[in-house]
Amino acid sequence: MPATSLRLLHVHAHPDDESSKGAATTAKYVDEGVEVMVATCTGGERGSVLNPKLADDPQVLANISQIRADEMARAREVLGITQTWLGFVDSGLPEGDPLPPLPEGCFGLQDPKVAAGALVRVIRAFRPHVITTYDEQGGYPHPDHVMCHRITMEAFKAAADPDLWPEHGPAWQAAKLYYHMSFHSQRQEQLELAMHEQGLDCQFPHRDTDPYSYGRLTTFIECAKYFPVRDEALRAHATQIDPDGPWFAVPLAIQQAGWPTEDYQLVVSKVPTMIPEDDLFSGLRPEPVVPEFMI
């Protein structure tokens, strides 16, 4: 199957997640002619303003919904993708002990079997060969990330069942489902070692809450060439990222040399493949033609 006929769907909880998770993979496949779509579950309306330069700007705080949408539009252009909103309302990240209840009507309180219908519609219209989402912990325990996992798992199955959601078009069976797994401890330790060898110090985001086990990884996408695109897309989400913060603490050259892949766990495959993989489309591309030798 030529790259121009392959389709990849990333399912993410908020605008900015598509740029912080798997964005270099996305840029690589777009460059190869793969059609890539991002389905964004919520508008990120309750996301905190994490850029200290904007945190106290009253215009930002008053217009956060539109600003998040505008940031997504810029990131979409950087990555060269299409993108659709599933239309759910951001849950916010509950904090405190005990945790406060989630806001009424938010994404995190949806019934996954019902909420999956919006994603089934997207899957049947786009007909992706590969779908990515988060692991069962959501990558980290944000209620929207956990719900994103739940509806993706439900929609992956439901989209292939012609008896479910018939109003959303003909059934479509995606061939493979992956979890994003790039924030694992071995990558962080390797990059920290590389930093220390250069006399630099580094602390990574999510280090203390890293739920990923290196042993779960199956698929390593070589995409260091596209790390600058990833960073540009992430900076497009100006309210969500501190350009002087830990996301950009490791110099690009050290990242490219120290850990040049983005990593995934293959969860479902309807096609034969061999682990470890170096391609999300392993098993979906045509076998190379071996020429016959004349004697």
Binding site, annotated residues for Zn(2+): 14, 17, 145
Helices (H), 137-226: 143-158, 185-197
Residue 100 three-state SS: coil
CA angle 211, 216, 220 (to 5 degrees): 105
- CA separation for the pair 176, 266 (Å, rounded): 7
Residue 265 three-state SS: strand
Ramachandran quadrant class, 150 (left: phi over 0; alpha: psi -120 to 50; beta: rest): alpha
- CA dihedral angle for residue 31, residue 85, residue 134, residue 106, rounded to 10 degrees: 160
- CA separation for the pair 96, 229 (Å, rounded): 36
- CA separation for the pair 283, 176 (Å, rounded): 9
CA angle 220, 81, 7 (to 5 degrees): 60
- CA separation for the pair 178, 266 (Å, rounded): 5
C-alpha gyration radius of the chain: 20
Q: Which residues belong to the annotated binding site?
A: 14, 17, 145
Residue 109 three-state SS: helix
DSSP class of residue 277 equals B
- CA separation for the pair 219, 132 (Å, rounded): 12
